[in-house]
Chain A
Amino acid sequence: MQLEDKKIEGILIVRPLEKRIDASSATDFKGKMVDWINSGNSRIVLDLSGVDFIDSSGLGAIVSSLKTIGTNGDLVICGLRDTVMSLFRLTRMNRVFQIFASEEEALSALSNAKKSC
């Protein structure tokens, strides 16, 4: 699965370049996320603005990434389309993840969270 990554002020922004995170790509997605987390990235923004379909396997891979970070960091989501958001609501994962409308809002929230520690 193709993912674009960049770092802004110590925060890793990951953006899938493919429209789907599904059963065929979930394992690869999770593997790449775990590699970044194990490399020391503890504050991550997952930009899903280009994703128009996620199935339960894809969602499970995102949850697994969150669990890998654990309580030592943050994985937040931005750019979620209304349709994909409905999957998060169906599964109550909208209560698990902080979800922001834009990359800017997500970065601001993670930056402020660090400053308040």
Chain B
Amino acid sequence: MGTGNWKLAVVFWMVVLVAVTGKAWAVYLDGDRTLEFTGKAQTRASIRLQDSEGFTAPPGISVGNLVQWRSIAYLEINHNLEKLQGELGILKPLKWLELRTKYHLVGRFLYEAVYNVGPDGFQDAREDDEENIDSFKQSYDLWEFYADLSRGPWFFRLGKQNLAWGETDVFRLLDQINPLDNTYGGIFEDLDDRRIPLWMLRGSYNLGTLGPIDSLTLEGFWVPGDWDVHVSPLAPYGTAYSAPLPELPPPLQQRIIYPDKDLSNSRWGVRLTGMLWGVNLSAAHYKTFTDLPTPLFVIEPDPPPLGSPYQELRFDDVQITGGSLNFWESVTDTVFRAEAAWFWSEAVLIPDINIPIQPLPIQIPGIPGIPHNGRIPEKDFLRYMIGLDKNVWIRPLNQTQTFLVSMQYFGQWVSDYDPRMRQAVPLYPKETEFPAVREVEGTITMLANTLYLSGQVMPQMVMGYDVRGAWLLQPSVNLIREPFRLMIQYSAIVGNFTGFGVFRDRDQISFSFSYLLN
């Protein structure tokens, strides 16, 4: 038998072995069950159900094309060191300090094969930008790695981690501490799968009961800017989930300005939480970086037309002050939650200011005008959410499990509104016209799911509606047959080219197959 056949035989045998045993193997590596090894492997394929339109690149992608074949594996170690602290000399100081310690480590391995085996458009995009896309399509990361130390009211989590504050799902308000990776699945991916862990020092102190307030906790975090200034990556031009942006007309070149690794670019924040008369309350202030960059024309050196024009995409920092609350209302048996956050001096796009263009005396197709040096204006935003969660019995549909129904309304108001404010994706076919940002924006989300067949089948529906006329629909079903998972998901965006509506030509059906190590 050749080597290749043996490899297939090994894989086949392992799959049969696991399937026949009917359950995954236990993965505690010690008799005291303090050291656990676990993980999962997943492959996900998505097929486009619409033809590309407008500025979406590559243009030839059409119905039936494979747009995603992503394989990802997580290997995870969790180790509770409390017992070892008493036995291992190097850890004894932790015992003397009466610290409870454990650590958590996750390795992530990702490969996107669509740029090798997908439609010609993606393969051509790779050839045009080989180094960048070859780097983009794969990653092998120490994904999470942190240690927990606690003693009495003190708790510290130090290392590479995710942290989410606030009360929102689907979209983020007080939950923008970690950047998001929208490059490999866009907004169709679960929010948590898109979070990028950061090297962070985080701590909390339980102040206990103070007067009428229970469980009062002060929490803080710091991502030293000279350790980690990761921001949301941008999908290279021509990749499946890149924003619908036109190629820059020559001589304009693009460059992305990432925050420098400097202490001044640290993320940091503090939060106070507690419960008062049955209502969970929190107040927070933190500094982070925006998920999306802001464009800016820079001409080097001045003055045009002799200078080199660049379209810079700058990730600016923003400070956010806000609060949230939740409570359970007994008469309606509903959990209500709300959140409000003030975004201070957030960078915005006002084309006349950011990317000023002087029209040519004679119009030349493909050249809208002469770019001039711009600057980035800033505005304060108020963003808020009110939502509810309710478990509902719909017995004709399900006699044994409730339906979880969750709804949210997100609002946004711009302080000192300027009617020239725009979203940073141009309106096809005009490269210099952009959808407007209104003084007040709103989006409604709804989620509903339940369980059938002893929890082995979970249908779910997620909907979003931007009040300016864009709908997101995402029905899915998850199937369980240990140790495998199969998810089938349909994702569609219809309506106007605004908000998430800019991805309205990316409808897809996805199939995700996972194997869980335990």
Chains A and B belong together in one complex: no
